[in-house]
Amino acid sequence: MITDINLEDENILDGEDANLPKPGKPKTSRASTDKWGREVLDLGFCVLPSLIFRAQRRLGLNPTQLAVLLQLADFWWDAARKPFPKKVDLAERLGLSDRQVQRHIADLEKAGFVRRIERTASHRGKISNEYDLSGLVERLKALAPEFREVVEEAKARKKAVARPGFRPMRKGAAEAAATG
């Protein structure tokens, strides 16, 4: 059973997808600009599914592994083109050594989140690896139905509480009803 998400989070319960524009609310780009500021967003942004954060523990990702995946995702602009950042750039962004980045990527590869694809240039020899994140995508897709079910159950409970005459069962009565 999922216990990783905060069921009280209004963003989870407010609609099909709380991050999509809703009638009467500002469009996402405008809302993002209002939150972050044009001068910040003009330097770029990265679109990530919230599930990667909500399922971090279920995925078994430690904070550094998640940070490495997020950095790789920041270089992934087009679904058809895999990211290919240099390890030195990742290391600089993360405040790690090149070797530490290599180890974390190797761990992510062993866990099936990332697949390294070696690239070479005929005149320069080896160049930065390409990183296939389809393993991460597939793992998130596999978890999505379970997380969706928990969200739907939470929405139903919230709706039931809002009904006139709703009386929550006492703890003992609820347990007795559940066991039949």
Q: Which residue has the higher pLDDT, 2 or 75?
A: 75
Could you tell me which residues are beta bridge partners of residue 121?
125
Instruction: Judge whether residue 26 has pLDDT over 90.
Output: no
Task: Please say if the pLDDT value at position 18 is more than 80.
Answer: no
Task: Name residue 75's amino acid.
Answer: F
Provide the token pair at 120: 């070479």
Q: Enter the tokens of residue 10.
A: 């209004």
Give per-residue pLDDT as tens, 107-144. Answer: 999 999 999 999 988 887 778 999 999 999 999 999 99
Question: Would you say the C-alpha torsion 114, 141, 44, 121 has a positive or negative sign?
Answer: positive
Residue ranges of domains in the chain, CATH in brackets = 8-45 (no CATH), 49-160 (1.10.10.10)
Average of pLDDT values for 42-64?
96
**Mean predicted confidence (pLDDT) in 23-38:** 78
